[in-house]
Structure 1
Amino acid sequence: MNETCGEEDDLRQYQHFIYALIYSIILVPGLIGNVLALWVFRVYVRETKKAVIFMINLAAADLLQVLSLPLRIYYYLNDSWPFGQFLCMFCFYLKYVNMYASIYFLACISLRRCRLIHHPLRYCSNKQRFDRGLCAAGWLLVCLGCLPFPLMRRGPDEPLCFSELPLADVTKAAGITLIVLAEILGFLLPLAVILSCSWRTVASLCEKTAVLHDRGEKRKALKMVLSCTAVFLVCFAPYHLTFPFHFLVKSRSEVSCAFRNTVLRCHPVTLCLASLNSCLDPIIHYFTTNEFRRRLSRPELPDSFQLRFLLRSLSWGTEDTASQSELGH
Structure 2
Amino acid sequence: MNNSTEMTKEECVLNQVVLTRVLPSLYTIIFFVGICLNGLNLWIFCYIPSDRSFIVYLKNIVVADLIMTITFPVKILSDAKIGHEMLYIVVCRFSQVVFYLNMYIGILFLAILGFDRYYKIVMPMQSSSFQTVSFSKFISAGIWITMAIITVPNMILTNKPSSGTGKTNCAQLKSPLGVQWHKASNYICIAIFVFVFCLLVVFYLSISRKIYKSHQRLRRNSDARRASKRNIYSILFVFFVCFVPYHVCRIPYTLSQTGSNYSCQVRNTLFYIKEITLLMSASNVCLDPVIYFFMCQPFRKRLFEKLHINNSIQETERTVRISSTRIL
**TM superposition score category, shorter chain reference:** 0.7 to 0.9
Partner of 1:292 in structure 2?
A: 299
Q: Which residue of 1 aligns with 2:321?
A: none
Separation of aligned partners in 2, 1:46 and 1:201? 25
Match of 2:100 in 1: 96
Aligned position for 1:196: 202
Determine the C-alpha separation between the residues in 2 that align with 1:113 and 1:180: 28
* AA matched with 2:75: R
Q: CA deviation at 1:91?
A: 0.4
Q: Residue 35 of structure 1 corresponds to which residue in structure 2? A: 39
Matched, 1:275 2:278: no
Question: Is the aligned partner of 1:227 residue 2:234?
Answer: yes
Query: Superposition pairs for residues 128-277 of structure 1, below 5 Å?
Result: 128-147=133-152, 150=155, 151=157, 156-157=162-163, 164-167=169-172, 168=174, 179-185=186-192, 187-208=193-214, 222-251=229-258, 253-277=260-284
Residue 85 of structure 1, CA deviation: 4.0
CA distance 1:158–1:98, shift in 2 (3 Å) = farther
Give the match's secondary structure for 1:255.
coil
Deviates most, 80-89 or 194-203: 80-89
Distance 1:296 1:276 in 2: 22
CA contact (8 A) 1:197 1:225 kept: no
Q: Which has the higher contact order (CA 8 A, sep 6+)?
A: 1
- Taking a change above 3 Å as real, the CA distance of residues 280 and 267 of structure 1, as seen in their structure-2 partners, is same
Aligned to 2:324: none
Q: Which amino acid is 2:170 matched to?
A: L
Q: How does 1:122-133 map to 2 (within 5 A)?
A: 122=127, 127-133=132-138
| Equivalent residue letter for 1:81 | E
Count residues in correspondence. 296
Cα distance in 2 for partners of 1:152, 1:239 equals 24
Q: Which residue of 2 aligns with 1:69?
A: 72
Are 1:11 and 1:265, in contact at CA under 8 Å, matched by a contact in 2?
no
Question: What CA deviation, in whole Å up to 9, does each residue of 1:110-144 have, x standing for no partner?
Answer: 11122122344526797111111111111112122
Task: Map Cα deviations across residues 228-281 of structure 1 (whole Å, 9 max, x no partner).
Answer: 112111111111122223333444745211211111221210111110100000
Letter in 2 for 1:131: S
Q: 1:224/1:253 Cα in 2 relative to 1: closer, same or farther (>3 Å)?
A: farther
User: Is 266-275 or 141-150 further displaced after alignment?
Assistant: 141-150
Question: Alignment RMSD, CA only?
Answer: 3.6
Which letter does structure 2 place at the counterpart of 1:115? Answer: Y
2:10 aligned counterpart, secondary structure: coil
Percentage of identical aligned residues:
23
The amino acid across from 1:104 in the alignment is L
Distance 1:301 1:21 in 2: 29
- Return closer, same or farther for 1:196/1:239 CA change in 2, 3 Å cut-off: same
Q: 1:19 aligns with which of 17, 23, 42?
A: 23
Q: Match of 2:61, as an amino acid? A: L
Is the CA contact 2:105–2:147 (under 8 Å) kept in the aligned structure 1?
yes
- Structure 2 unaligned blocks of 5 or more: 310-328
Whether contact under 8 Å (2:53, 2:131) holds in the other structure is no
SS at match of 2:213: coil
Bigger Rg, structure 1 or 2? 1
Deviation at 1:6, TM superposition (A): 3.5
Task: Return the alpha-carbon distance in structure 2 between the equivalents of residues 133 and 114 of structure 1.
Answer: 20
Instruction: Report if aligned partners of 1:154, 1:165 keep a CA contact under 8 Å in 2.
Output: no
Of residues 59, 63, 67 in structure 2, which corresponds to 1:60?
63
Partner of 1:320: none
1:106: how far off?
A: 0.9
**TM-score, normalized by length of structure 1?**
0.76
Aligned to 2:291, the other structure's residue is in SS state helix
1:154/1:166 contact within 8 Å kept: no
Q: TM-score, normalised by structure 2?
A: 0.76
CA distance in 1, matches of 2:42, 2:128: 23
Q: Tell me by how many angstroms 1:181 deviates.
A: 3.0
